[in-house]
Amino acid sequence: MSYRATRFPYIALGLDAKEPDVPQLGGITAKFTAAADLKVGDVVFVSAAQTVNKSNTQANYATFAGVVVGGVSLLDGCVVIDDLNCIGAIVPSGTQALVQTSGIARVVADAAITVGTRISQGATTAGRVDDTAFTAGQMCGIALDAATNAGDVISMLIQAK
């Protein structure tokens, strides 16, 4: 099937770009098969054909895919990017995960994080981010909030580098 590209000049993330208090979250998602039980908020990498997984080995994130924001069969296929109560919801192994590949997403800190730092997978809990030493080719994004403790939820500008 052929498609004609739509005109698409500028976009503003968030519910209403005119309201400064609205979280600036959102982006483009793609479907991938979950290689294991994944959680909303996990950073994931491409692990096999059309498949993503998580790990506490940063080197695996050389093939960073994005952030899990939902599942095709989870919450009726809705994405949950700004409801902190939904961060951590399970996308079961073998099902279709919705992975946000660009924009700004909510992620979970693996330890304390300084705002503005480049972040990647942390060493402790798979799917969580930390601002450990910069390693070219393995970074997932930039921390837009600070985290004080492991488990804190912060916003990340998705930017593989």
Partner 1 sequence: MFNPRNFRVQRLASGNFKGDVVIATAGGTLNVGDVVYWSAAGTVNKSTTSANYAAFAGVVVAGPGTSNLFTADDVTNVVGTQAATVGQDVYVQINGIATVQTAAAVAVNAILQVATTAGQVDDPAVVAGQCVGIALAVAAGASVKIPMLIQPK
Residue numbers at the binding site for partner 1 (CB under 8 A): 1-5, 8-17, 25-31, 45-50, 62-65, 69, 79, 81, 98, 100-103, 136-137, 160-161
Q: Which C-beta is closer to partner 1: that of 16 or that of 76?
A: 16
Dist CA 159 CA 3 (whole Å): 28
Q: Which C-beta is closer to partner 1: that of 51 or that of 132?
A: 51
- Is 132 buried (19+), middle (13-18) or exposed (0-12) by CB count in 10 A? middle
For residue 108, list its beta bridge partners: 153
Q: Which C-beta is closer to partner 1: that of 46 or that of 113?
A: 46
CB of 82 to partner 1, least distance (A): 9
Dist CA 153 CA 14 (whole Å): 17
Q: Tokens 């940063």 label which residue? A: 58
The tokens describing 38, both together, are 């994944």
CB of 16 to partner 1, least distance (A): 6
Q: Tokens 């908020």 label which residue? A: 41
CB atoms within 10 A of CB 43: 30
The continuous run of DSSP H or E covering 60 comes out as none
CB of 47 to partner 1, least distance (A): 6
CB of 37 to partner 1, least distance (A): 20
CB of 114 to partner 1, least distance (A): 22
Q: Which C-beta is closer to partner 1: that of 13 or that of 157?
A: 13
Q: Which C-beta is closer to partner 1: that of 27 or that of 111?
A: 27
